[in-house]
Homo-oligomer: A and B are copies of this chain.
Amino acid sequence: MAIPRAAKTQRRTRIQEEKEEIILEAALDVFSVSGFRGSTIDQIAEVAGMSKPNLLYYFRTKEAMHRALIDRVLFTWLEPLRAFDANGDPESEIRSYIRRKLEMARDFPRESRLFANEMLQGAPHVEDELRGPLKALVDEKAEVIRVWARNGKIAKCDPYHLIFSIWSTTQHYADFDVQVRAVLGPEHSGEGRFEDAARYLEQLFVDGLRIRGPHG
């Protein structure tokens, strides 16, 4: 007898792998723009190029699709912070963290917007992950920064708000892309704006955190 839902099979078929990939790709397109409530299965089905019942064969509900997407995105989204090295040089660690986050905003803007949409709606689907794994990771890295400040390697500052400010400034170029382009005008809306942003942000954070000399 046939098992009606692919999700329940033991071994994943080649077709399953492929189709689920296509679906999640389409779902990312749609969810990242309209959020969960504002997106429809029909929209996703159209982008994915398959029928709605066919989508629902792979993901039983709209929620399941969103869930799978969020889980995947959340993991890769934290990669740059995980790579933040306690043993590295503070200045270059912060510098390369900013670079990595900015690269992600440039290369994966949909993922950033999906996450932003979820936050705006009060994180109804991921609050547990925020309070659990996310908080744990941030706590760990915040402690690293605190030690750097205590040892005089960087200026004293609230490590949590430092992390928030790096998040917000970098993700801004993905989430508020339309606004950035509108303000910069068409002549500065090429990919070069990410380089400009990188230069500015590195200056801001590095100078802002540098220990001040007697003339500072």
Contact = CB atoms under 8 A, between A and B. Distances in A.
Interface string A109-148: 0000100110111110001001100110010000000000
Nearest to A159: B200
Contacts of A138: 183
A207 interface: yes
Contact of A200 (B34, B158, B176): B158
A212 interface: yes
14 contacts: A35-B120, A38-B38, A116-B116, A116-B120, A116-B176, A117-B117, A119-B179, A120-B120, A127-B178, A134-B183, A135-B182, A162-B200, A165-B172, A208-B208
Nearest 7 pairs of A and B residues by beta carbon = A213-B215, A37-B38, A208-B208, A38-B38, A168-B172, A130-B182, A161-B200
Interface of A: 32-39, 113, 116-117, 119-123, 127, 130-131, 134-135, 138, 155, 157-158, 160-162, 164-165, 167-169, 171-173, 175-180, 182-185, 188, 196-197, 199-201, 203-205, 207-210, 212-216
